[in-house]
Amino acid sequence: MGSVVDAPVVVEEVAENMLGDKKVTVVFVLGGPGSGKGTQCANIVEHFGFTHLSAGDLLRAEIKSGSENGTMIENMIKEGKIVPSEVTIKLLQDAMIKNENDKFLIDGFPRNEENRAAFENVTKISPAFVLFFDCSEEEMERRLLGRNQGRVDDNIETIRKRFKVFVESSLPVIEHYNAKDKVKKIDAAKPISEVFEDVKAIFAPYAKVA
């Protein structure tokens, strides 16, 4: 009976996941600070031919471009305001349209349930799945404090605050997709090489054709 119910969903996604004239595969990558998702995204790009899109990088690039949109984003950040979901979504959408690839890792977005709903409403794209790098607060603290990258925000109180914000805002997103059986949870506390073995098993269907 389950398969009968599932069938229309698949058809609907095939019809919807269009960007311009191409069908795209989108994977949301979520994980707290220090979860190692950046390292694993680079591995996925190299081995499985995805394009990595970081919401934060796109916002910074837009600011750097000096465009009217970039100036607006910069002013909002300076004033401590949250950049509207639609602005970030437009940047992600434009980046996907301009890129010749049709497989994308979207990193650091959606940050919250409002982001998620807006992304699906605006783009009509539903992610293939959510890759969630699950890591304890203690392990993240250990990693971030041991980085020695000279980052001002890598002190213990700030790290704890960043982790708390991540958990509170991202949990509803993860729960939403979990209810649709779309969350692939990775134990990110393992060594990098072991984590990538788990990642590879998930991405095997997307292996690059030689």
User: What are residue 18's DSSP bridge partners?
Assistant: 23
The reply, when asked if residue 116 is annotated as ligand binding, is no
More confident of the two residues 163 and 150: 163
Is 37 annotated among the ligand-binding residues?
yes
Quick one: tokens of 143?
A: 């990693």
Mean pLDDT of the region 128-139:
86
Tell me, yes or no, whether 87 lies in a domain: yes
> Which residue segment(s) compose the domain that 76 sits in?
24-200
Residues 3-8, mean pLDDT to the nearest whole number: 40
Question: Does residue 149 sit within a domain?
Answer: yes
Q: Characterize the bridge pairing of strands 103-107 and 51-54.
A: parallel
Number of domains in the chain: 1
> Is 143 annotated to bind ligand?
no
21, pLDDT greater than 80: no
Q: Is residue 4 very low, low, confident or very high in pLDDT (cuts 50, 70, 90)? A: very low
6 in a domain, yes or no? no
Q: Note whether residue 12 is domain-resident.
A: no
- Is 90 labelled a binding residue? no
Closest by alpha carbon to 105, among 127, 83, 135?
A: 127
Domain membership flag for residue 2: no
26 is in an annotated binding site: no
Domain contains 58: yes
124 is in an annotated binding site: no
How far, in Å, CA of 209 to CA of 48, rounded?
9
Burial class (CB in 10 A: 0-12, 13-18, 19+), 37: buried
185 annotated among ligand-binding-site residues: no
Q: At what angle do helices 85-98 and 113-123 cross, to 10 degrees?
A: 50
pLDDT at 14 > cutoff 50? no
Residue 75 sits in a domain whose CATH number is 3.40.50.300
Residue 86 maps to a domain: yes
Assign 17 to helix, strand or coil.
Answer: coil
CA distance to 38, 73, 170, per residue, from 31 (Å): 9, 24, 9
User: pTM (2 decimals)?
Assistant: 0.81
Q: What is the pLDDT of residue 118?
A: 95
- Residue 160 marked in a binding site: no
Residue 144 belongs to a domain: yes
